[in-house]
Amino acid sequence: MSLEAWFTVAVIGFCLGLLIHGRTAPDIVMMAGLTLLLVTGILTPTEALSGLSNEGMVTVGIMFVIVTGLRDTGAIAWIVQHLLGCRVYPPGCHVSDRTISRGNRQRPRPNGFAARRTS
């Protein structure tokens, strides 16, 4: 394989590793990989943007935008709470049988949201 092919494999492996690790947003990882391939001249701008000509890919992108908007506005938590009857706690909360803790603060769990034990 040529040097360009090995570099492409390395970029794909790097992007896959970052996606598996999960600390970096997927859109940032993919744009970084695409930018690396564009800057090195392995891909031309026409080749890099050819994926957007597929309607399926544009649909997936639009769905990412919609879901992010629903999550950021709290609509998903509202839907889960009202339709399924479950309480959705914000990220960073640790929920135990009797308390909810966020950082150093602890408070009792609200009535009606007690943990169900299955044993």
Residue 45, domain member (yes or no)? yes
pLDDT band of residue 75 (cuts 50, 70, 90) is confident
| Under 8 Å between Cβ of 32 and 40 | no
Q: 11 lies in a domain?
A: yes
What is the predicted pLDDT for the residue at 115? 47
Domain that holds residue 11: 1-53
Give percent of the chain above pLDDT 90: 31
40 within some domain: yes
35 within domain boundaries: yes
Distance from C-alpha of 78 to C-alpha of 41, rounded to nearest angstrom: 47
**Mean per-residue pLDDT over the chain, rounded:** 78
| Residue 58: inside a domain | no
pLDDT at site 42? 93
Residue 46 lies in a domain: yes
pLDDT at 16 over 90: yes
Could you please report the per-residue DSSP string of 35-79? HHHHHTTSS-HHHHHGGGGSHHHHHHHHHHHHHHHHHHHTHHHHH
61 occurs within a structural domain: no
- In which band, very low, low, confident or very high, does the pLDDT at 32 lie, cut at 50, 70 and 90? very high
14 falls within a domain: yes
108 forms beta bridges with: 99
Q: Is the pLDDT of residue 80 over 50?
A: yes
Query: What total of structural domains would you count in the chain?
Result: 1
Choice between 94 and 34, residue whose per-residue pLDDT is larger: 34
Return the pLDDT at 8.
Answer: 94
> When comparing pLDDT for 85 and 99, which is higher?
85
pLDDT over 70, % of the chain: 71
